[in-house]
Amino acid sequence: MKKIVLFAAILIASVACSQSKAPKALVLYYSQTETTAKVAQEISNLLGADIEEIALVNPYDGTYQETIARSNEERQSGKLPELKPLNSDLKKYDVIFLGYPIWFGTYALPIGSLLESVDFSGKKVVPFCTFGSGGLDASVKDLKANIAGAEVLPGYGVRQARIDAMPAEVERFLKAGGFLGGEFAQPGEFSEMKPATEAEAAIFDAAVSTYPMIRATAQNVASRAIEGGTEYLFEARDIPRDPEHPEMAGTSKIYVLALDGQDPVFTQVVR
């Protein structure tokens, strides 16, 4: 009987210990138009994680053009916006899901303020962002360069135009990262790059046709099968604005989803 009681006590202590060592997560985000807030809330709901919005002393509450003008001036002068103190004690958390919109090709300026004022040492930082066309890769690279002592893990990004697809993608992202239990379909590797066929170029054109900021033609393509369809990675060349100087045209990589029964859409531009 004593042995049974002792075994039960050891088992309970072991369970309590494993629970105390479970990573504690905080979803910390800045959202200008509430789009990033939707992603933050989805992550928080799925993980049961604490959540806090980053607040500014002087919010960007003007028109779109006024916000662009102010943030551009701040960016050029190096004077970042002042933040209100966080309510959360980051020392309590092991993992920080850090969310932001993409401005000027990288994380929004309030995140720059956060990096200067908060110590992320010893934390695992998981970026997530929203954007018009792209910026996830560039912003993750910049985070790695500017967060001292933290481990920046792979991130998630979604176009504002595709926010309805976000819940399913976030769930799959969290499962793939080991933050959420459950099965998920792991996509395979992309095929080797090859010249795009006429049919593949037509898929590319259909995917970017409704986004006027992309004026490019598909050159090469790789693809892979995914759940419900095909994902393409196109290497594209910009259509030169000055026909007499085609050498001025840039290149980019553009990801496109072609799901069964749906029109193809691009998910991210990487320049």
Size of the chain, expressed as the number of residues it contains: 271
- The residue segments making up the domain with residue 58 are 13-176
Tens digits of residue pLDDT in 126-147: 999 999 999 999 999 999 999 9
Q: Is residue 1 part of a domain?
A: no
Q: What is the pLDDT of residue 23?
A: 83
**What residues does 96 pair with on adjacent strands?**
26, 125
pLDDT value of position 62 = 85
- Helical segments of 105-189, H only: 109-117, 136-146, 166-176
**Lowest-confidence region among 14-23, 146-155, 226-235:** 14-23
Q: How far is CA 15 from CA 2, 9, 93, 180, in A?
A: 20, 10, 20, 19
In-domain check, residue 183: no
The arithmetic mean of pLDDT across residues 47-66, rounded, is 95
Q: Which domain-ending residue is among 176, 210, 241?
A: 176
Cβ(215)–Cβ(133) below 8 Å: no
Examine the domain organization and report whether 18 and 125 are in the same domain: yes
6 in any annotated domain = no
* Torsion on CA atoms 30, 137, 233, 41, rounded to nearest 10: -20
DSSP class of 121? T
71 lies in some domain: yes
CATH number at residue 153: 3.40.50.360
Q: What is the pTM of this model?
A: 0.89
**What is the average pLDDT value for the chain, to the nearest integer?**
91
φ, ψ of residue 30 in degrees (nearest 5): -115, 135
Give just the sign of the alpha carbon dihedral 47, 270, 105, 141.
positive
pLDDT in tens, 188-240: 999 999 999 999 999 999 999 999 999 999 999 999 999 999 999 999 999 88
**Structural domain includes residue 5:** no
What is the pLDDT at residue 151? 98
Element (H, E) at 237: strand 229-238
Tens of pLDDT, residues 100-117: 999 999 999 999 999 999
Number of domains in the chain: 2
Instruction: Report if residue 34 sits inside a domain.
Output: yes
pLDDT of res. 155: 98
Claim to verify: residue 46 and residue 76 sit in the same structural domain: yes
